[in-house]
Amino acid sequence: KDTIHRICSGQVVLSLSVAMKELVENSLDAGATIIDVHLKEYGSELLEVCDNGSGVLPANFESLTLKHYTSKIKEFNDLQYLETLGFRGEALSSLCALSDLVITTRHSSLDIATKITYDNNGKIVSTTPVAREKGTTVTLCKLFSSLPVRRKEFTKNLKKEFNKMCQMLYAYCLVSKGVKFTCSNTTDKGSKSTIVSTDGQNMVRENIINVFGPKQISTLIDIDLMPPNEEVLAEFGIKSSPDSSVPFSFEFLISSVIHGSGRRVADRQFYFINSRPCEPSKLMKIVNEIYKQFNSNEYPFVYLNVTTKSALIDVNITPDKRQVFIENEKLLLAVVKSSLLAAFKQFPS
């Protein structure tokens, strides 16, 4: 039974970036405004996420790591109206099975914190009272240590895994308005470096400056939403409906074509549906194709956060929730195309 759980857990938490993502999402769901991520040896020795969120009540210490324990949805119907990032109650239980998990937490209603150590089955090994501000710190030591083959593969590709994790973290830094992030790494030799540090602004542009520097921002234009005309609708095989209202809105920033600010690789593109980082492949393809019509051989910087009723999306199709099923996806593609074309025609290269 333990083995099965271990194998399944390896499918929930596929990589270092998924581990980080799950912990950061838990902090965001707990209402944190400060989130500090710390790594040792690029995450192979330790990954720690510390927040100033609501904390956990002692009555819940035992259930936290139970499979399918979640405080976030009570019935299946709630899935339609999902406001939180987590909802499956699989992350902590899986992380327990895959590494040594320690949680230090102080609930907002208490004035003492508790350090809880769990074993690989999610059972509490020890609890110790400690001093801490309100919030939660989750510490994972030696990720994948219970899956030797995976661990070997992970440490072999450490730099790549680490870079992927940084990309994922940048996405949260950009989209989480009013949340201050820091991320640092300490190497085996003891030298500490800051990977990113933001000051929790409410404007995406400010967050972009924090993460990528002021140069990046000078090239960005805002794309306004443009409802598609008959021609574009037809192109996507949509019969125009009498009700022409579009069930989407977005915040869309892209590097402008006149500044020729593209990059050789598409490593600065951030897509979100309802502020959830994701990889909507068709959307990404459209954006890059249109950009290339105006600016050959380069990729733009992209920040695109699509907002729609949560009932119209399904984030439950892959364990890492990166793939999203969007109702009316074709209409979304048509809207994005129209909006980009309208903007770029004003900025001929």
Q: Give the DSSP per-residue string, 316-330.
A: -SSTT--S-EETTHH
Q: Does 201 bind ligand ADP (CB under 6 A)?
A: no
Q: Which is nearer to ligand ADP, 138 or 257 (CB)?
A: 138
Interacting span for ligand ADP (CB under 6 A) from 33-41, 89-97, 179-187, 294-302 = 89-97
Distance, CA of 276 to CA of 199 (rounded, Å):
20
Helix (H, G, I), strand (E, B) or coil at 189: coil
Contacting residue, 15, 17, 52, 54, with ligand ADP by CB under 6 A: 54
Give the shortest CB-137-to-ligand ADP separation in angstroms.
Answer: 8
Instruction: Name residue 140's beta-bridge partners.
Output: 47, 101
Which residue type does 67 have? K
Nearer to ligand ADP, 43 or 86 (CB): 86
Residue 21 or 268: the one with the smaller Cβ distance to ligand ADP is: 21
| Residue found by looking up tokens 């909507």 in the block | 280
Chain-centre distance of CA 49, in angstroms? Answer: 14
| Element at 286 (helix H, strand E) | helix 281-294
The helices-and-strands tally (H runs, E runs) of the chain is 10, 15
Which residue number, 21 or 337, has a Cβ lying nearer to ligand ADP?
A: 21
What is the rounded CA–CA span in Å between residue 2 and residue 319? 20
Instruction: Give the tokens for residue 174.
Output: 């950009």
Q: By CB under 6 A, is residue 87 in contact with ligand ADP?
A: yes
Interaction residues for ligand ADP, span 255-314 (CB under 6 A)? none
Give whichever of 53 and 86 is closer to Mg ion, judged by the CB atom: 86
Interface pick for ligand ADP out of 8, 34, 41, 71 (rule CB under 6 A): 71
- Under rule CB under 6 A, which residues in 10-49 are in contact with ligand ADP? 22, 26-27, 30
Minimum distance of ligand ADP from residue 149's CB (angstroms): 24
Say how far apart CA 90 and CA 98 lie, in whole Å: 12
Which parts of this chain interact with ligand ADP (CB under 6 A)?
A: 22, 26-27, 30, 51, 53-56, 64, 69-72, 86-93, 136
